[in-house]
């Protein structure tokens, strides 16, 4: 068994697509209209175009608002993305105007940082030296 698809709830799919592709560097995989303005909109890593997809899912369900508000208030990331070098990625993203809620922190064999995806979520980047 392997993870095929996971999702993050986003306030605005077009804005999320721009952030996740133009800033974070993911690649659009699927963009299918599903009614109204909603889309089945996924991105993938350019290093694994047939790998796990991230669904940029509309956040209109009534449970999403309280859930995301609680996560953000507690500083809990909605997703975690692996990078080769957290300090370098932190500097690259910060130069692009990305807001970080946690600068790089070394915790034993991992280094993490947490950013605001501009669409209602905190996202962790992680480097593992294990």
Residues 57 and 50: beta-carbon distance below 8 Å: no
Averaged pLDDT for residues 92-116: 97
Architecture of domain 5-128: Roll (3.10)
pLDDT of residue 35: 85
pLDDT greater than 80 at residue 92: yes
For residue range 7-53, list pLDDT tens digits in order.
Answer: 999 999 999 999 999 999 999 999 999 988 999 999 999 999 999 99
Task: Tell me the C-alpha distance between 127 and 87, whole Å.
Answer: 9
pLDDT at 130 over 90: no
Distance CA 98, CA 91 (A): 10
Pairing verdict, β 38-44 and 27-35: antiparallel
- Break the chain into its structural domains and give their ranges: 5-128
Alpha-carbon gap, residue 69 to 75, rounded angstroms: 10
pTM, full prediction: 0.94
């Amino acid at each position: 068994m392997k993870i095929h698809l996971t999702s993050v709830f986003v306030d605005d799919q077009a804005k999320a697509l721009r952030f996740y592709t133009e800033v974070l560097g993911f690649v659009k995989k699927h963009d299918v209209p599903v009614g109204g303005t909603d889309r089945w909109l996924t991105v993938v890593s350019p290093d694994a175009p047939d790998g796990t997809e991230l669904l940029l899912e509309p956040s209109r369900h009534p449970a999403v608002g309280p859930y995301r508000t609680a996560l953000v208030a507690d500083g809990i990331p909605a997703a975690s993305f692996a990078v080769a070098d957290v300090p370098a990625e932190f500097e690259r993203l910060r130069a692009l105007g990305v807001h970080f809620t946690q600068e790089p922190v070394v915790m034993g064999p991992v280094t993490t940082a947490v950013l605001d995806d501009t669409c209602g979520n905190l996202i962790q980047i992680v480097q593992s030296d294990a």
